[in-house]
Amino acid sequence: MKIKASKTRIFKPGENLLFFLEKYFLCLAEGDILVVTSKIVALAENRVVKNVSDKQKREIINSESEFQMETKYVYLTIKEGIVMANAGVDESNANGDLILLPKDSFLSAAKIRNHFRRKFSLKNLGVIITDSRVIPLRSGITGVALGYAGFHGLKDYRQEEDIFGRPFHFSSVDMADSLATAAVLLMGEGAERQPVAVISGAPVSYCNKVNKNELRIDIRDDMYGPLFRKFK
């Protein structure tokens, strides 16, 4: 598998995202996966809030999240089935503004995929909309797939056997987030200005329609669920 991140100019709020991406994805091959940071998707949707007070910021985080809890550093929130800081409301690389997450990352991924499939006459093409996240009890951030299109996000091993012939009962691999993490590592989080990337040779199963809930776990069944119930 190979990943190539592309350096771009600064994307401005309200720009046409597809026109922008066409400048950097000049040629795509069968089976490629396009990776696009959620920040430029949100900017294209004008999901930007200017000149807000701390009180207004808290109100925005509250309205953007399904669950919120104030912690020492941030608001721990749940949005679209993902645990994240401040419901994804971000001040980094925002020129003093607040940038919210895209309205519907799965829909955005599907639109990008459909556009480039037609442009390059491709059958199998994937798209991932990425963001950053922190894993409990681990320092530093990794990537996460807010939305994706063109491939199955979950690889299930439960119908297979391990190297000693024992059947798997619970094992599955989060393909979408794994690929997002690999790409975000190269794309960077600072001043790299590499908001897009292409993954070639990814070991995924391609499809035309994804189940946007396939990676979600009900909090009642999640291994971290007792923590949320304890601190609520």
3-state secondary structure labels for all residues of 179-217: HHHHHHHHHCCCCCCCCEEEEECCCCCECCCCCCCCCCC
Residue 131 forms beta bridges with which residues?
A: 144
61 vs 64, 76, 105, CA distance in Å? 5, 10, 18
Residues 6+ apart with CB under 8 A from 105: 38, 41, 80, 129, 146, 147
End-to-end Cα spacing for the chain: 42
Residue 145 has pLDDT above 90, yes or no: yes
Distance of CA 160 to the CA centre of its chain: 28
pLDDT band at 190 (very low <50, low <70, confident <90, very high): confident
Residue 230 DSSP SS3: helix
Region 201-230: mean pLDDT is 87
Cα angle: 6, vertex 192, 96; to 5 degrees? 120
Region 53-75: mean pLDDT is 90
Domain residue limits, the chain = 2-45+102-214, 48-100
Q: 18-27, 128-137, 161-170, 193-202 — which is least confidently predicted?
A: 161-170
Region 62-80: mean pLDDT is 90
Residue 85 DSSP SS3: strand
Using CA atoms, how far apart are residues 186 and 199, in angstroms rounded to an integer?
Answer: 11
pLDDT at position 161: 62
**Of 92, 110, 68, residue with least CA distance to 195:** 92
pLDDT band at 134 (very low <50, low <70, confident <90, very high): confident
**Of 7, 33, 25, residue with least CA distance to 183:** 33
Residue with more model confidence, 197 or 169: 197
Q: What is the pLDDT of residues 99-125, one digit of tens each?
A: 999 999 999 999 999 999 999 999 999
pLDDT band at 135 (very low <50, low <70, confident <90, very high): confident
Residue 219 has pLDDT above 90, yes or no: no
Mean pLDDT of the chain: 90
Residue 45 has pLDDT above 70, yes or no: yes
Share of the chain above pLDDT 90, in %: 68
Region 72-97: mean pLDDT is 87
pLDDT at position 169: 61
pLDDT at position 163: 66
Region 51-68: mean pLDDT is 89
Backbone angles phi, psi at 41, to 5 degrees: -65, -45
- What class is the 2-45+102-214 domain? alpha beta
Tell me the pTM: 0.92
Q: 126-130, 133-137, 148-152, 220-224 — which is least confidently predicted?
A: 220-224
Residue with more model confidence, 90 or 197: 197
